[in-house]
Structure 1
Amino acid sequence: MADRERLDQPSDPRRRGLRRNLAARREADPERFGRFAESAARFLGTARFITWMTVFILVWLAWNVPWGPDRPRWDAYPFIFLTLILSLQASYAAPLILLAQNRQEARDRIAAEQDRDAASRSHADMEFLTREVASLRIGLGEVATRDFLRSELRGFLADLEKADESDQQD
């Protein structure tokens, strides 16, 4: 939807025909290259990549060794072209890996901030609940307990029994 022209907005007269197509290409998703870098870095860090790279180099070396059968060789010993290809691959792989690491660091920083916020909210909730429990304990200290009520009722019963005995004696 981002690369489609909005119908509720007036069109820009400078962006017509070929210019419009070129401008649309320039306004590509800025995250697309970052996602590409992450997928490339993810692939470069696998055993599959190392295996394929090893196979590629071994085939290259086997085809281009000077003491093998006579056939056309495109990179004679000391394999300058192979060195160039590997250097080119490394020169592209390193920035892609760094870009992927930077994006991961940004995600980790956001996650850490969210964790800190959640921890501070949890801490505030625990402090509030601690104060509530303390106030309940203070409030319960003023409430009559079951044992206190039983002893008071026994005392009233004993007083009533004494009063009843004194009334019967009179």
Structure 2
Amino acid sequence: MPELQPGRRLDQPLLGRRGLEFDPSAFASAAERVARYLGTGRYLAIQTVIVVAWIALNAASWWLQWDPYPFILLNLAFSTQAAYAAPLILLAQNRQDDRDRIALDEDRRRAERTKADTEFLARELAALRIALGEVATRDYLRSEVDRLAAIVEGREKPRRR
């Protein structure tokens, strides 16, 4: 039986079989960066400037009208952008959900450990309180020493137990 290559996982397909090297996490990471950029004010400002310039150039000049009034080419550009942006945003959301799920699992495990540690410390504290109840206190020892001193000096008679 052939040995498994180091770093090779059985739950993932082989990469590069047909000469194409494709790293799914690198693609997903790039998709996240694009999706993050699509949600910025900078992107919206740049897109607004491009659209205004497009419409102004096509409406103002008769000889440069590459996209006349209904602006069908501009509409096609927006449709293409939306067709690519939507899956990229969904991919970024799925990766964020995965990260949130992992963080939630770690938080849950940490909370369980903290609860177990707290219960252990509560049991230990209860055991210490019980043990301290059986220990002679300083006041008790003083009273016994005083009583024994009184017996030795003859001021008190010994008690029978």
TM-score by length of 1: 0.78
Structure 2 residue aligned with 1:159: 151
Deviations 1:131-167 (A, max 9, x none): 0110011001000111111111111111112169xxx
Matches within 5 A, 1:40-51: 40-51=34-45
Change (3 A) 1:40 1:126: same
| Separation (CA, whole Å) in 1 of partners of 2:66 and 2:143 | 107
Q: Does 1:23 align with 2:18?
A: yes
SS at match of 2:135: coil
Deviations 1:5-39 (A, max 9, x none): x9xxxxxxxxxxxxxx87342x3211111001100
Change (3 A) 1:22 1:163: closer
The gaps in structure 2 that reach 5 residues or longer are 6-15, 157-161
Deviations 1:85-135 (A, max 9, x none): 011101111110000000000110011001101100111111111101100
Matches within 5 A, 1:50-61: 50-61=44-55
Considering fraction of residues, name the structure with more helix.
1
Counterpart residue identity of residue 22, structure 2: A
| Separation (CA, whole Å) in 1 of partners of 2:19 and 2:154 | 103
Computing the radius of gyration over CA atoms, which structure comes out larger, 1 or 2? 1
TM-score by length of 2: 0.83
| Separation (CA, whole Å) in 1 of partners of 2:34 and 2:64 | 33
Tell me the C-alpha RMSD between the 2 structures: 1.8
The gaps in structure 1 that reach 5 residues or longer are 1-5, 7-20, 165-170
| Separation (CA, whole Å) in 1 of partners of 2:135 and 2:19 | 75
Quick one: percent identity of the two aligned structures?
53
Shift of 1:69: 3.6
| Separation (CA, whole Å) in 2 of partners of 1:95 and 1:30 | 15
SS at match of 2:70: coil
